[in-house]
Structure 1
Amino acid sequence: MRDLIITNSSRLELSMRLMDVIVLECAGALAGLLHFHIPLSETPPIHTVLLHFCSALAFLLFPQFQLYVSWRGRSLPDMFVRLVGAWGVVLLIGLFFSFLVHHVGNVSRLWMFYWYALGVALLVVFRFAVYYALRMLRAKGLNSKRVIIVGYGSTGKEMHRRAMQQDWTGYDVKAVCADPLDSDKIVDPSIARLASLKEVHDYAVAQHIHEIWVTLPLTASSRLQELQYLMRNTFVDIRWVPDVLGLQMLSNRMGNFLGLPVVDLNQPVTSGIHGIVKEIFDRSFALLALFLLLPLFIVIAIMIKRTSPGPVFFKQPRLGLNGRQFNVYKFRTMKVHQEQNTVTQATKNDPRLTPIGGFLRRTSLDELPQFINVLLGDMSVVGPRPHAMQHNEIYKDLLETYMLRHRVKPGITGWAQIHGHRGETETLDKMATRVQFDLHYIQHWSLWMDLRIIAWTAFKGWTGKNAY
């Protein structure tokens, strides 16, 4: 009973394909009633021909879009995107077919639009129903897949935790093959401990295992080859999930390069189309901010000039995107002085501060001219704060991941700043914590995250005990 659906997966796929054809036929007929207000059979014959032609074509083409593979543990939005694309391709081919038979002029474009929209809606509803029905069965222990985990480092433990926590995915971890020290960390007595890859093979055959998850580190490729050889005569799925949780990566996106699969380890999320979206948002936001803040700029400039001699703005070199140097702009908060090959961070009650400088720093108003840097393309509204050049030279050798923060544009505010990690970093631990928050932002960036940080900064983040 537990393997009933698994052993009949081919029949389930055929049933799904036939149901999709029925769904599309019904969607086309319903679209005809909505548009023509009469049965589709009473409209020009090309509509009925297209109805049957496209439905049959979907039966043949949908498998090419991987719509019938197991989506157990995979992303549902990805499946729906494939579904929308596949149905669109089928209708385009149908429209081209009507052109070839010289009846394209008789085809109602509005009917085809209704058919497309209704088809997408009904196909999605149907898949949701199937998905949640299978999910409930798996949560009850039915239709589950028995799994062996090979390697029990950080990634192996995480895979095991997720399999137990997300019981609706239907993965039942039966055994673990790991070093004795790692095996001792398994508290569940029902899980078998396997000491060698030969035992993995014997256990998989005896217990009818469905999948083996290999979570070995990248350096253990020889063991992966050995496992593949041992399992060569079995029909067990082997998934390789490299143990990379210990690596500091900005991304793990799969791609294709020179015809071969590649994994980008340090390409930030804000590259590609996401980078364009962020760039447009930054420039637009900076232009609006500078326009609205112009009166405040004038007031601050007058106060700076009246309280101390020197320029209104202070500029200093910083590292930007991919290490490109630029000059960051701030309102001057200190008396004009010269430092030789060193940068001394501002401290509480710093004697170098001008009468207005302390207030500007505590309220972060001194940072406002950096909207000019954003407009020039040197900075983003949100991102890791740019540090002095000398600090970069110091910390790049002390903190292994320090320079990864320069894979994106620096920002006026950031994830670290709204969590209180701003101001003076007099200890290595403080800088390490700030860098970890910066890397979290880079790895999990979204436009919504930027908006949250901006809102938090506007209402709560302009002042703080560490700002001086």
Structure 2
Amino acid sequence: MSNPSVEGSAVSPVTLSNEPPVVRFHHSKILALFRAVDSALIVGMLWVALNLLGLEWSNIYTAFAISAVIIFGFFAESNEVYYLWRGHSMYDLGIRLFLAWFATIPFMVLAVVLTYPFASLGFLAISSWLVATPVVMIAMHIGRRILLAKLRSNPAEPRRVAIVGANDLGLRLINSMSVMPWLGYKVIGFYDDRAPNNDVSRRLFGQNIEVKGGLEQLYQDSHDGKLDIVFVALPMRAELRMHSVIDRLADTTVSPYVIPDVFSFDLLHSRLTCLQGIPALSIYDSPLVDNGSAKRLEDLVLGLGILSVLAIPMMLIALGVKLTSSGPVFFKQTRYGMGGERIKVWKFRSMTVCEDGPNVAQAKREDPRITPYGNFLRRTSLDELPQLFNVISGSMSLVGPRPHAVAHNEFYRGQIKGYMLRHKVKPGITGLAQVNGFRGETETLDKMSGRIAYDLEYIRNWSVILDIKILWKTIFKGFVGQQAY
């Protein structure tokens, strides 16, 4: 029989399956367990509340408990409570759990109101249940975190980790591991044979960067069993180098991970998804892809509430517009909405003209087109109130980038990189830029660039909580200002 060994380079093994390889997402069994525990806790807390008050369990309470489990599960999933990759801090995790339950409460209160005429309910028991459940749930999750951190912070056999690439991405990776002790990682250090460079994507240097050696040292340590996991964090342009590292590590038993340097792009609400095992990362995406219904519910509930309060003042403002100058009460101007779609934005007329063409001049200080009464409306932002009709109809949101005239959009999109990305969400009556001083005229390119930077920061970090913070700040900072004219 001939010797099966051959001289020369190694031969790749034959692939037995005709199916292409796929990437599987990692799922935490502990978080899956706690998802079920949270559901049981919701039911159990209602049972405890009823028993403490001497009330009997009935079918109506069964319906309440099941409804709460379903609704809470939806909002918990929306808030990414059970996502291991998020690496929530304890505070962040507690906030997300609280918000998920807080969003559940209105639905349960509505169920109580609708059920009350037909069934006898223990209001005190239900109220106690709605208040106590999130407290116990948050305490339980924090306890789980503390226990896991204690068990895994000093494991008998920690997973020894090496980072290939002493760069900004590798440093960020180590910093992430340091705040997640429950992973049980022990970082050995960096391996990099490139010369130190001021380019952070290539090679960092300093007292916080411990380079154990070059790539040959990495292969030797891996071969000698000194490493368990290797994270390859080289720049994306170093594709051939990454392939070489992975091929050499195939001669060891370490588990290599490739960390793509996606942060070299200016990410905008980036999302990771998977198409039949093919990972895909969006670079410029909208938060409304996954959260459009939550944003719309927020706009409808708050928009209708605000409109009900301001209906009479708005009628008085409309009367003032009619009595102080000739022309229509409302002025509708064409602007870009979400996705660049053209919409008609409502305002109280504050000028003697109603310009809506290809050339629209921005309002300036002491602009002769502005009426005396219109000047008051613009300085107090009361001329924007009719945009509540846009919010309720769905073409605008309460919070978002302020819509610009079409003529201004067409000019600035060629002057400011990423300008049109602000249209990944609906325009708003107020926004992050406005509560940070960017209101009114943007007569210089620097001022418009500053406004756009805040608009993109809003999209990048959108959440319902951020919207509420902006609305709260608008009350004190968003209506008046030196730039409002």
Q: Is the structural similarity TM-score above 0.5? A: yes
Do the aligned partners of 2:388 and 2:398 also contact (CA within 8 Å) in 1?
yes
Do the aligned partners of 1:211 and 1:238 also contact (CA within 8 Å) in 2?
yes
**Where in structure 2 are the equivalents of 1:30-429 lying within 5 Å?**
74=87, 131-136=145-150, 144-164=158-178, 170-177=185-192, 179-180=194-195, 181=197, 182=200, 185-188=204-207, 191-192=210-211, 194-195=213-214, 197-206=215-224, 208-258=226-276, 260-272=278-290, 274-336=291-353, 338=355, 341-429=358-446
How big is the shift at 1:392? 1.4
Bigger helix fraction: 1
In the TM superposition, what whole-angstrom CA distance separates every residue of 1:38-89 from its partner, at most 9, and x where no partner exists? Answer: xxxxxxxxxxxxxxxxxxxxxxxxxxxxxxxxx79845969x99xxxxxxxx
Cα distance between partner residues in 2 of 1:400 and 1:193: 41
- Describe the shift of the 1:184–1:155 C-alpha distance in structure 2 as closer, same or farther (beyond 3 A): closer
How big is the shift at 1:441? 1.4
Cα distance between partner residues in 2 of 1:127 and 1:304: 56
- Describe the shift of the 1:423–1:288 C-alpha distance in structure 2 as closer, same or farther (beyond 3 A): same
Aligned to 1:13: none
Q: Which runs of 5+ in 1 are unaligned?
A: 1-15, 38-70, 82-120
1:453 pairs with one of 470, 474, 478: 470
Question: How large is the Cα RMSD of the aligned pairs?
Answer: 3.8
Aligned residues, how many? 367
- For residue 148 of structure 1, give the secondary structure of its aligned residue in structure 2: strand
- For residue 413 of structure 2, give the secondary structure of its aligned residue in structure 1: helix
Report % sequence identity.
36
How big is the shift at 1:348? 1.7
Do the aligned partners of 1:137 and 1:143 also contact (CA within 8 Å) in 2?
no
In the TM superposition, what whole-angstrom CA distance separates every residue of 1:140-197 from its partner, at most 9, and x where no partner exists? Answer: 79764433222344422322333456666544251242642157632127712644x4
In the TM superposition, what whole-angstrom CA distance separates every residue of 1:367-389 from its partner, at most 9, and x where no partner exists? Answer: 10101111111001111111111
- Describe the shift of the 1:313–1:268 C-alpha distance in structure 2 as closer, same or farther (beyond 3 A): same
Cα distance between partner residues in 2 of 1:346 and 1:359: 14
Moved more, 133-142 or 360-369: 133-142
- For residue 219 of structure 2, give the secondary structure of its aligned residue in structure 1: helix
Cα distance between partner residues in 2 of 1:206 and 1:190: 23
Cα distance between partner residues in 2 of 1:218 and 1:124: 40
Amino acid at match of 1:250: L
Aligned to 2:59: none
In the TM superposition, what whole-angstrom CA distance separates every residue of 1:241-282 from its partner, at most 9, and x where no partner exists? Answer: 22122312223322232553322333322223x211211221
Cα distance between partner residues in 1 of 2:342 and 2:391: 14
Cα distance between partner residues in 1 of 2:418 and 2:381: 27
Cα distance between partner residues in 1 of 2:461 and 2:392: 24
- Describe the shift of the 1:191–1:205 C-alpha distance in structure 2 as closer, same or farther (beyond 3 A): farther
Q: Which runs of 5+ in 2 are unaligned?
A: 1-29, 52-83, 98-134
Cα distance between partner residues in 2 of 1:151 and 1:122: 44
Cα distance between partner residues in 1 of 2:163 and 2:254: 13
Cα distance between partner residues in 1 of 2:480 and 2:136: 52
Amino acid at match of 1:187: G
